[in-house]
Amino acid sequence: MARVLCVANQKGGVGKTTTALNLAAALALADQRTLLVDLDPQCNATSGLGCRPTARHSLVERRPLRESLCATQLPNLQLLPGCRSFQDISLLASDQQEAQMLEQHLAHGLERFDFVLVDCPPSVGHLTRAALSASTEVLMPIQCEYFAMEGLTQMIHVIREVMQDRPGRLEFGGILLTMYDDTLELTHEVDAEVREFFGDIVFDTVIPRDPAVSEAPSHGQSVIEYAPRSRGTRAYIELCMEVLDNE
């Protein structure tokens, strides 16, 4: 059975898509059959792997999952591309019945994968809830800044609601500190506060600020392919090892 990781945070700009993309690449390079699902209408995960957004979202069209996948430069990594169609995204994001059908669609066709990572939009709407319901774990990136804890209460409330609706299905995969600058006192303050409040569900690995991480998507690559000796690459490989160890 595939481990389905929902990468979510209602706050934008926290490294959510960057984490989904680079963790997926690291898992693929670790010989894990991996699928990245792009549910964010910005489609950054899609373009960041050198693929094009689709004209219609395959989850709206109800096509079999295997017919909708896009190959990437990594043999073990496949992508379910995102879609910028306002009509399709509105349909998926605003209608409860559509969200339930989305959940059912995501729940099928995953047997041949070891890991499925779902890149969610920065919200706690129906689309994110559906992704959470179809997932086995949730991974929450948090930027190391003053407002890091802002909005987390609502996000955790939604996660707990999904856990109650689907007992035994969804677990906290972990909280990940991103854009980490160890030269700043604020970074250490946020780190200490998050670890004190959330305890063991915070990953030991932190993702540093690294220009290579920001540059890689413009080349249609993960940072691991683009800059294999960079600090960002080392961090995502360490995160991958933590995720594998948490099985």
Instruction: Count other C-beta atoms under 10 Å from residue 194's C-beta.
Output: 20
Average pLDDT, the chain: 87
Sheet strands side by side (includes 115-119):
70-71, 77-80, 34-38, 115-119, 3-7, 137-143, 171-180, 202-208
The superfamily in CATH containing domain 3-245 is P-loop containing nucleotide triphosphate hydrolases (3.40.50.300)
Closest CA to 140 of 180, 177, 115: 177
Contacts of 225 (CB under 8 A, 6+ apart): 25, 73, 74, 216
Q: Domain segments of the chain: what residues?
A: 3-245
- Residue length, the chain? 247
Q: In this predicted model, which residue has the larger pLDDT, 104 or 171?
A: 171
pLDDT by residue (tens digit) across 67-118? Answer: 788 999 999 999 999 887 766 666 665 555 555 666 666 666 677 899 999 9
Of 12 and 5, the one with more pLDDT: 5
| Token couple for 8 | 């979510």
